[in-house]
Structure 1
Amino acid sequence: MNSESMIELSSQSLFVSFIVLLLAILPIGMAVKSKRVWTSRIGIGVTHLAFLMQLLYFFVRWAAIGHAPVSNMYEFMTFFGIMLIGSTLLIFHLYKQIVVLLFSIPISLIIIGYGSVFTSEASPLIPALQSNWLSVHVITVAISSAILSIAFVTSIIYLVSAMDVDKKTRGARGLEFVMYCLVIVVGFIMSSIIFSFTYDEKIIEFENKGGTVERAIYKMPALFVNDGAKLAHEQTSFGWIELTNSIDAQKLNTIFWAFLFGSVIYLVVRIAARKNISQLIKPLTQKVNPLVMDEITYRAVVIGFPLFSLGGLLFAMIWAHLAWGRFWGWDPKEVWALITWLFYAGLLHLRTTKGWEGNRTAWMAIIGFGLIVFNQVFVNLVIAGLHSYA
């Protein structure tokens, strides 16, 4: 089997696993509501099947391209979503809390769906990426991020179950804002799919801050462009709002459309249901033991934090030294990785020394997940730096 056929097989495995995970939500939801054993067994079995197909995607693609498939946004986010499913299955077998699967699977699908809007083309690695330490660094970061994401999922479950979401308290509004942010990611996926069919991509040229001509491909209507942007070959003005060239305007433009589509989706759901999203999912947590969710949150951070320390800092520094000749350079992504590490260190410190449990741990775990997403999405896509190619 040639490499093209193997890549096609891996892509099909990933797509089928996505559908299988969607189907798994139904029996798992029934198990959460009714506690029937057969629905639980079906849901867990189907989820295991989907995870095996995801692993098939990963290793077949690895064999086809000759290196670990974690070198671009499509590959990294896909692997992140896969590891979230694997971590959730492990948590289920340890704690027997199927409700974690019910909430975790949609988050994984959103992550994989987000990754799917980027190019899946397997291109040769640039020199900075041609190192085994890249694979070690990125794989460890993805696994640790997935485990820390479990803490996010169980924190959501904890807060929804323990909080009166019908009251307009600060906590209820904060929880609903988290739901809104998740819908924004869905908006990004939807906008990318819709514009891929309705908008002819445009190639523009502009002079970057280094004084050289750079090109950008717009797959969505251009509201934001870099200063001096013109259509390639035509040299006519392009876009509405010009931004400094220290910002990736094309990617910021994409984020704007994601917020627009996500906001519309959120409003449609609110108007149709006449409830906010927190109220809609509240019945799914009626049989939840909040103390168990708090325990899982803490254990996930205890496991994920040292792994992130290795992957996000130690292994990253080794790779940076091999790629750029220095261990640390205050690149935007390096800075935010350090901020994320310090935040989770603070969470564990406050938990163990100050007795921060329950609501406080839950909110900190949610903010920590926000830092992970900000680093992997916004810093990667918008802020220019050495990691922008990812």
Structure 2
Amino acid sequence: MKLLDFSSNMFVVAFFLYCAAFILFAVAVMGRRWSNRDSEAHMKKWGGIAFLGSSLGLIFHLIFFVTRWIGGEHIPVSNMYEFMSFLSMMVMVAFTVVYLIYRKTLLGLFAVPITIIIMAYAAVFPQEVQPLIPSLQSYWLKIHVTLAAAGESFFAIGFAAGFMYLIRTVDFKSKEKKAKKQQRWVEVIFFSIILVISFIATVFIFRSGGYESVFTQTKVTGQVGAQTTITEKVSYKLPPIVGPYHSKIESYEPFLGMSKPLFNAPSWMNGVNAGRKFNTIIWSVLTGLILYGILRLIVRKPLGRAASPLMDGIDADDLDEISYRAIAIGFPIFTLGALIFAMIWAQIAWGIFWSWDPKEVWALICWLFYSAYLHLRLSRGWQGSNSAWLAVIGFLVVMFTLVGVNLVIAGLHSYAGVE
């Protein structure tokens, strides 16, 4: 237990070191405006310090991973907390590799926050070491999951560079129809990121306050004459705007005058966790809109236009090259881990190579998407803006595969762990 406590402390230390590194990257990028002719020297100096900070965070992150492996007696990738923690570590490994190749300080300003957000998201889930179910007790777990996460981490770097390219090249002052369409989609990407951040913040705020409401849900199964009634409890950690379908309140903690849910989940959302998940989506959208509105009031302009000056002086072609190279590195790794080795493991664990499980289907969709990206890039000359949009959309598909499929769609991969 002491080793696991030590491991958790290393996770926290790594998180704050990444936060410090992000601030230093911001100083390196934004401070160059006031450095006049020494702007390049300023960026090089502070960028180097920031990279040392992120590298130190990666060391502590690796210590967390190794000590949790030893303390838990199995590789820590078997539930959502462990997998997302590992994915965030691999994103930082991918960033380190790409940074050492291209030496682009600005990349840290966009890549490091991805790691921070994923780590914060991981912390939402139960952190106890859980025993492995039989299908996970295989060395294929190490091979399949680690390679899949490694490939996805390079996709994350491709996303960061592609998004930077769009912010650099989209004309935020133009009133033309095409330019305004691109401006709106850049803003949609910013809003999507804010939704995730607001969800994490909301969960931690109510968790720190110890909020909990409990419902009992009765479900009748079987045919007429041989029916079975099952009563299950569901605990809400966020105030229930929407209650479970066909349920009764066991305990309800009032919030902002609400003494009961505003409405119940529809019948087609039947299931003990369906209403809670719907409630989570509603809270994420509401808090996301509030946070987005606050940021818009602060900067007094669309977020894309506000971020655009950060890209002044940055070679767009370099960003395009970084995005492509990162995805080119990640694609074969993802192919091995998420498809080939996954099918071998499925045959061993379940006796079938492919079962059309939702997670398998979405992993295939990710692979087909990045296959199309590389085909269009290499055979059709899709570079620049077209390539950047694909890199951004592709990573959004990856994140839905990791988050949406695991938490919303039931399937063989539902063991990933939901509180």
**Which range, TM-score by smaller chain?**
over 0.9
Q: Distance in 1 between matches of 2:63 and 2:368?
A: 35
C-alpha spacing 1:161/1:233, structure 2 compared with 1 (3 Å)? closer
Which structure 2 residues correspond to residues 285-324 of structure 1 after superposition, within 5 A? Answer: 285-324=311-350
Q: Distance in 2 between matches of 1:66 and 1:207?
A: 38
Residues 1:136 and 2:143 are matched in the alignment = yes
Which amino acid counterpart does residue 5 of structure 1 have in structure 2? K
Shift of 1:213: 4.9
- Deviation digits for residues 91-116 of structure 1 (CA, Å, limit 9, x no counterpart): 01001111111111111111111111
Question: Which residue of 1 is the match for residue 54 of structure 2?
Answer: 47
Aligned with 1:340: secondary structure? helix
Q: CA RMSD in A?
A: 2.1
Q: Distance in 1 between matches of 2:116 and 2:16?
A: 10
Question: Which residue of 2 is the match for residue 202 of structure 1?
Answer: 214
Calculate the TM-score normalised by the size of structure 1.
Answer: 0.93
Question: Which residue of 2 is the match for residue 219 of structure 1?
Answer: 237
Decide which of 21, 25, 33 is 2:22's aligned counterpart.
Answer: 25
1:248–1:381: 8 Å Cα contact kept in structure 2? Answer: no
Shift of 1:16: 1.1
Shift of 1:249: 2.9
Say how many residue pairs are matched. 385
1:136–1:311: 8 Å Cα contact kept in structure 2? Answer: yes
1:203–1:216: 8 Å Cα contact kept in structure 2? Answer: yes
1:248–1:384: 8 Å Cα contact kept in structure 2? Answer: no
Which structure 2 residues correspond to residues 9-88 of structure 1 after superposition, within 5 A? Answer: 9-33=6-30, 34=32, 35=40, 36=42, 37-88=44-95
Q: Distance in 1 between matches of 2:138 and 2:277?
A: 27
Decide which of 88, 106, 114 is 2:113's aligned counterpart.
Answer: 106
Calculate the TM-score normalised by the size of structure 2.
Answer: 0.87
Rg larger in structure: 2
Which amino acid counterpart does residue 214 of structure 2 have in structure 1? K
- Deviation digits for residues 72-123 of structure 1 (CA, Å, limit 9, x no counterpart): 1111111111111111111010011111111111111111111111111111
Residues 1:191 and 2:202 are matched in the alignment = yes
Which structure 2 residues correspond to residues 142-153 of structure 1 after superposition, within 5 A? Answer: 142-153=149-160
2:58–2:92: 8 Å Cα contact kept in structure 1? Answer: yes
1:222–1:240: 8 Å Cα contact kept in structure 2? Answer: no
Question: Which residue of 1 is the match for residue 263 of structure 2?
Answer: 240
Which amino acid counterpart does residue 103 of structure 1 have in structure 2? F
Q: Distance in 1 between matches of 2:154 and 2:369?
A: 16
Query: Structure 1 unaligned runs (5+)?
Result: none
Question: Which residue of 1 is the match for residue 406 of structure 2?
Answer: 380
Shift of 1:283: 2.0
- Deviation digits for residues 29-50 of structure 1 (CA, Å, limit 9, x no counterpart): 2322423232122111111100
Which amino acid counterpart does residue 14 of structure 1 have in structure 2? F
Deviates more, 1:196-205 or 1:110-119: 196-205
Residues 1:177 and 2:177 are matched in the alignment = no
1:147–1:303: 8 Å Cα contact kept in structure 2? Answer: yes
Shift of 1:225: 4.3
Shift of 1:202: 2.2
Question: Which residue of 2 is the match for residue 371 of structure 1?
Answer: 397
Which amino acid counterpart does residue 241 of structure 1 have in structure 2? N
Shift of 1:136: 1.5
Which amino acid counterpart does residue 139 of structure 1 have in structure 2? T
Deviates more, 1:343-352 or 1:196-205: 196-205
Q: Distance in 2 between matches of 1:259 and 1:319?
A: 37
Shift of 1:231: 4.6
Give the % identical residues: 38
C-alpha spacing 1:216/1:325, structure 2 compared with 1 (3 Å)? farther
1:155–1:294: 8 Å Cα contact kept in structure 2? Answer: yes
Question: Which residue of 2 is the match for residue 8 of structure 1?
Answer: 5
Which amino acid counterpart does residue 304 of structure 1 have in structure 2? G
